[in-house]
Chains A and B, each alone.
Chain A
Amino acid sequence: MSEIIEVKSLVKKFNGFTAVDNISFEVKKGEVFAFLGPNGAGKSTTIKMLTTLLHPSSGKMMINGFDPVHEQDSVRKSFGIVFQDSSLDDELTAYENMDFHGILYNIPLELRKKRIKELLNIVELWEKRNLLVKTFSGGMKRRLEIARGLLHHPKIFFLDEPTLGLDPQTRNQIWEYIKKLNKQEGITIFFTTHYMEEAERVAERIAIIDHGKIITQGTATELKTKTQTKFLEDAFLALTGRGIREEEASGIDLLRMRRQVWRGGKK
């Protein structure tokens, strides 16, 4: 299998603060790849650079064989994206949101109609297609965004914290859709999350990112073997020295880490 995303020594600085600090990774075609890390680790900044919204300070990127800095349009045609916050137009209906997206991506009318119907059916919103988006719940909006992001048959699908703020049932449902699409359409999935169990359950490979640096990457099993831990959560703790939800290591994290050391874990 070939690489569809290649990143080498990528750096992004904002006024002296280094948000992304020299990261390198690759994602294979058709793979489900997760960026796992706490809030503020540099996950969203990386996605913004990959999707042409931000210019990197230095480093190289290739998306589907194109450079996001110099070949913006080719890159933009290659991916679909679901942002962390909704990017739907609340004053438009679900169908109009889809239709406008199709026009922006230059999809011919007949194909557009067919594809919109197909996707809205998959995310179970076809019945609600003529309702204004502002009447939708958080989960419905997220489903609509997923459908919209896939309308133009992207090769890569970026999802930035796609299940943030959703209840467990909706989260499961959303992952079902995404996995189905990965299988059916062979789309490469790149998602960020700070939920361990999501990364472990859904992703084929995981990169752990913290303070703008990739600490390690591999399959969940590899990460656990490497750190001689049973759970991804423990592996994360062993690698970063802290739990994922805290910004700074708390007393309990330190205790847990000591326990790891006593048991003979690495670090």
Chain B
Amino acid sequence: MNTIYVLWLRQLKRYFRSKSRIIGSLGQPLLFMVALGFGFGPIFQKAGAGNYMEFLAPGIIAQGILFTSMFSGTEIIWDRQFGFLKETLVAPVSRLNIMIGRTLGGATIATIQGVIIFFLSLLVGFKPTSFFSVIISLVVMFLMSLLFTGLGTAIASTLDDFQGFQLIMNFLVMPMFFLSGALFPLNGLPKVIEVISHLNPLTYGVDGLRAALTRASHFGLAVDFLVLLLISLVILSLGSYLFSKIEI
């Protein structure tokens, strides 16, 4: 318990101390909301698909969560390079608890980040349906955060240098974001894109947030929630296994 707490606390302290990281990571979502939201809004409206900001905001919140959690997960690479990982690995505590603490820490940060982006979206005109829907969306946010922090941890456990990190960003994170339905509806897509987006876990996160916040959804909240939960369990188990195998 102590182990989990202390590693969680460490993540949070690091997060709140690095003001530039917080502000820097908010720039991109804000830009997306302003540029895409206002830019594509009129076309979206003309096509009869409704208010684009309503559609886009949950997608951008999901994007913020995706980026933050993957980054937290892959922090293992940093810790390996700069040594702190060794300090935890020689301590008389179980690897599973180290992994749980780190993942909860990363997921908490990503959820906070999601909440901040949610508030930003209110500034540019997003309106959630009710206060209760915001509470539901928090649950979805945390579940997504767990999933992607776990995914980052799992991948980073098998990498030992920074080069791998760029690879993850370009070949995993960016495609996941663009092919998740965060920016466009999933109806009437070419078959290939449709298949890929259905295999993409972020799709269910985006859809879940949309379901919670705006009551408009492709799969329905229950399906989204179940899929996210299932993938999270699989990925967290895999991550724990890979993390337990790290040798320095």
A residues bordering B, Cβ < 8 Å? 48, 51-55, 72-74, 76-77, 79, 81, 83, 85-92, 96, 100-101, 103-106, 132
Contact = CB atoms under 8 A, between A and B. Distances in A.
Contacts of A105: 91-92
Contacts of A92: 10, 13-14
Given A91-B14, A105-B92, A54 B83 contact: no
A227 B77 CA distance: 47
A105 B247 CA distance: 21
B84 interface: yes
Q: Which of A52, A55, A83, A104 has the most CB of B within 10 A?
A: A104
B4 to A, nearest CB: 11
B10 A89 contact: yes
Contacts of B18: 91
A96 B88 CA distance: 14
A106 B92 CA distance: 9
B248 interface: yes
A170 B164 CA distance: 37
A50 B83 CA distance: 18
A104 B84 contact: no
Nearest to B95: A72
A76 B86 CA distance: 12
B71 to A, nearest CB: 15
Interface string B75-90: 0000000111111111
A87 B247 contact: no
Q: Which of B13, B92, B247 has the most CB of A within 10 A?
A: B92
Contact of B13 (A74, A83, A87, A91): A91
B170 interface: no
Contacts of A88: 83-84, 87
B13 A76 contact: no
Nearest to B248: A53
A74 to B, nearest CB: 8
A188 to B, nearest CB: 17
A91 B10 CA distance: 9
Interface in B26-82: 82
Contacts, number: 68
Interface string B1-27: 011011001100110011000000000
A267 B149 CA distance: 59
B93 interface: yes
B190 to A, nearest CB: 45
Contacts of B93: 104
B82 A48 contact: no
A48 B248 contact: yes
Given A53-B86, A89-B84, A76 B91 contact: yes
A137 B89 CA distance: 25
Nearest to B94: A73
A50 B220 CA distance: 54
Contacts of A73: 92
Contacts of A51: 90
B245 to A, nearest CB: 11
A48 B82 CA distance: 17
Contacts of B5: 103
Contacts of A96: 13
Nearest to A106: B2
A101 B7 CA distance: 11
Nearest to B85: A87
A81 B90 CA distance: 9
A185 to B, nearest CB: 19
B247 A55 contact: yes
Nearest to A86: B83
Nearest to B93: A104
A111 to B, nearest CB: 14
Contacts of A101: 87, 91
Contacts of A103: 2-3, 5-6
A216 B176 CA distance: 58
A90 B248 CA distance: 20
A75 B93 CA distance: 12
Given A53-B90, A54-B248, A100-B6, 17 more contacts: A48-B248, A53-B247, A72-B92, A73-B92, A76-B92, A85-B82, A87-B87, A88-B87, A89-B84, A89-B87, A92-B10, A92-B13, A104-B2, A104-B6, A104-B91, A104-B92, A106-B92
Contacts of B82: 85-86, 90
A52 B90 contact: yes
Nearest to A48: B248
Given A88-B84, A91-B18, A53 B89 contact: yes
A91 B87 CA distance: 15
